[in-house]
Amino acid sequence: MDSTQTDEARAAQSRGPINAACADKLREAAALLEAQGANPFRVAAYRRAADTLHSLPGDIGPIIEREGAEGLEALPGIGRGIAGALVEIWRTGRWVQLERLRGSADPVQLFTLLPGLGYRLAERIHDDLHVDTLEALEVAAHDGRLEKVAGVGPRRAAAIRASLQVMLSRGRARRGAVPGGTVTSNAARHPVTAQPTVAELLAVDRQYREKAARGDLPMIAPRRFNPSGEAWLPVLHVTRDGWHYTALYSNTALAHELDRTRDWVVLYFYDDDHVEGQNTIVTETHGPLTGRRVVRGREPECIAHYST
């Protein structure tokens, strides 16, 4: 058994074929998306991929071992984003996107799978960088954002990069190697290079907050910071100009601490291959954009947007 897989993943595979487990998760995601009012295109895509997995004569594990996510993309009905999801399930036994739809996502716990990364530091990384997946964390580890988090620094960031390299190495195509022997993850090699405009993101943010205020959205019960199990978190799925969006209020420790759980909005956006990107939108509290809704990390574009 692959030593880079977690105990949870090994246990899941011991209970039955990985194809069936992955197909069940895809069908559950489709059912949740349908119930939450998502675009039928997304719903149908997950169901098609589940049908493909059920019809395969062999297990997807050897395909991932041999060819990585690119091998899965050659299968009918499986695009780049779904292939990445299947690799994630095979590698960890979990699928963060499905957990998010359920309200059970706990990216902090996911990050503690990395050796030497305790819960408090993992929580700080999540709150400061607004990343939810190991692939997104690896991108932050390579672009310099991770080492700027208090308590990380260059040496620890390098150690986290090395741990992520080991954990994420399975599921990458052998041809993914780059000069010098470094292999980057699917997220690093194939990021969402195009992304929605600031104007589009702000429009979805406004639509989400207005619908949430009117009580027009389905609610989910997040597991984190919700001891009563109340379904309080509104969720919006919407398609605009070729992008599929999921919008949720931030449910991080920092959002609760600063009483921003009804202000900070996390937007997940997907292209037609179901490759995910993410932005956080907040009300700015200082500088020239004070009082304005701002897309974190894209402040110069926000200034240009509001000046027109």
Q: Tell me the per-residue pLDDT of 231-261, one tens digit each, with 9 for 90 and over.
A: 899 999 999 888 999 999 998 888 888 999 9
Average pLDDT over residues 24-31: 93
Does residue 280 surpass a pLDDT of 50?
yes
| Residue 229 pLDDT class (50, 70, 90 cuts) | confident
Instruction: For the beta carbon of residue 102, count every other beta carbon within 10 angstroms.
Output: 16
Output the pLDDT for position 45.
92
Phi-psi region of 188 (alpha: psi -120 to 50; beta: other; left: phi over 0): alpha
Conformational region of residue 176, where left means phi above 0, alpha means psi within -120 to 50, and beta covers everything else: alpha
Half-sphere exposure of 1 (CA within 13 A, CB side): 13
Structure tokens at 156: 């620890």
Going by the DSSP 8-state scheme, the letter that residue 289 receives in this structure is G
pTM: 0.67
Question: In the structure, what pLDDT confidence band is assigned to residue 187 with cuts at 50, 70 and 90?
Answer: very low
Return the residue matching tokens 């503690």. 112
Distance from C-alpha of 122 to C-alpha of 120, rounded to nearest angstrom: 5
What pLDDT does 185 receive? 37
- Of the two residues 156 and 173, the one the predictor is more confident about is 156
199 φ, ψ (degrees, to nearest 5)? -60, -40
CA atoms within 13 A on the CB side of 292: 21
* Summary mean pLDDT of the chain: 83
Tokens standing for residue 98: 């499905």
Q: What are phi and psi of 175, to 5 degrees?
A: -75, 5
Residue 47 is encoded by which pair of tokens? Answer: 């169901």
Q: Would you state the pLDDT for residue 6?
A: 56
Confidence of residue 181 (pLDDT cuts 50, 70, 90): very low
Q: What percent of the chain has pLDDT over 70?
A: 86
pLDDT tens readout for residues 79-125 = 988 998 999 898 888 888 898 888 876 788 888 888 888 889 999 99
Q: What does the pLDDT read at residue 198?
A: 96
Which pLDDT band, with edges at 50, 70 and 90, does 50 fall under? very high
pLDDT of residue 197: 94
